[in-house]
Amino acid sequence: MSATALHHPTGTAPTANVWPGILLATIGAGIATIASRFLPISSLTLALLIGAGWAALTSTRPAIAHTARPGMQLAARRILRIGVVLLGLRLSVTDIAALGWTVVAIVATTVAITFFGTRRLGHAMGVPPGLALLVATGWSICGASAIAAMSPVARTKDDESATAIGLVAIAGTIVMIGLPALGAAIGLGDQAYGIWAGASIHDVAQVVGAASVRGDAVLAIAVVVKLTRVVLLAPLLAGVAATQRRAATTGDATGHIDAPLIPGFVLGFLALMLIRTSGVVPTDILDIAIVAEKLAFTVALVGLGSAITVRGLRSIGRAPIHLAIASTLLVAATSLAAIGLLAALNQLPT
């Protein structure tokens, strides 16, 4: 993929006014949130489209684009980290432990095979390494949220992040619609189907959509399985950060390393997960945190979407699309095979 046509500087000058861009990203997030209630599209996808629409409208008005750019950049980087931290409050170690080791093994196996397999497939298909890493992260963990979290850690380009998020939104929607019929066609019982939905569908909201058709019990299983995948986001981000540190040590004669061993927002994510596990957080606060988390991600995706240009989209080519299809099939087949194996061994919990 060629460099993005909308050039974002690597940093924002200390005197740059970020408020116009933050205000625009927040307004865009509000519009996306409201519109998603009336359209069969998630607010995150709509936010990405709104950001891309802003980029298109200002492509011939560089002065306007320049005014909003610092705030859009801040939204796409720092505000999304706030969302990742707040995501920790969704997770409880107790809920994960209640699944049993067999289900946790299914999740861990699916994540590992999907992540490393997708990166290998991306290399074989000629997909840029940064984009392949983002696709591997989004498909193995939790869709757009995981891609947004990985982007600053891996220092991928904004257009690569936007491309990966767009692809995962399309792929996840297709899987959400098709999985219930496919599960019924192959005769999966409620428990197995709930595990499969949680282990293979990309976004939490899409898991809810695919699992709710089978009732509340299936939905509960699917959501906890999905959130177990989300827990693995922290070690995945830390692993990529550690790999970059090793690469920096090898490639920099001065030994200068500016990437932390574990990014601060990952530590925040883990801290809030432990707080949620402790049970000290009131339900009302958890509800507010979930709303704030979704808003942070939605604002961030407006910022990411502002990096999309027509020229950038035309330069994508077919390889990333083929990788998205291959990764979708990989995550679905891996999780289904693991479920089938454990069921044959009578190891699935009842």
> How high is the pLDDT of residue 114?
97
Residue 160 covered by a domain: yes
Residue 8 covered by a domain: no
Kindly state the average pLDDT of the residues 49-78.
Answer: 88
d(CA 131, CA 155): 11
Residue 13 covered by a domain: no
Kindly report, residue by residue over 68-100, the tens digit of the pLDDT: 989 998 888 789 889 888 988 888 888 888 888
Do 140 and 114 meet the contact criterion of CB atoms below 8 Å apart?
A: yes
The domain in which residue 171 lies consists of 19-344
Tally of domains within the chain: 1
Kindly report, residue by residue over 106-136, the tens digit of the pLDDT: 999 999 999 999 999 999 999 999 999 999 9
Residue 9 covered by a domain: no
> How high is the pLDDT of residue 137?
95
Residue 350 covered by a domain: no
Residue 108 covered by a domain: yes
Residue 5 covered by a domain: no
Kindly report, residue by residue over 10-29, the tens digit of the pLDDT: 444 444 689 999 999 999 99
SS3 assignment for the chain = CCCCCCCCCCCCCCCCCCHHHHHHHHHHHHHHHHHHCCCCCCHHHHHHHHHHHHHHHCCCCHHHHHHHHHHHHHHHHHHHHHHHHHHHHHCCHHHHHHHCHHHHHHHHHHHHHHHHHHHHHHHHHCCCHHHHHHHHHHHHCCHHHHHHHHHHHHCCCHHHHHHHHHHHHHHHHHHHHHHHHHHHHCCCCHHHHHHHHHHHCCCHHHHHHHHHHHCHHHHHHHHHHHHHHHHCHHHHHHHHHHHHHHHHHHHCCCCCCCCCCCCHHHHHHHHHHHHHHHCCCCHHHHHHHHHHHHHHHHHHHHHHHCCCCHHHHHCCCCHHHHHHHHHHHHHHHHHHHHHHHHHHCCCCCC
d(CA 179, CA 185): 10
Residue 65 covered by a domain: yes
pTM of the model: 0.77
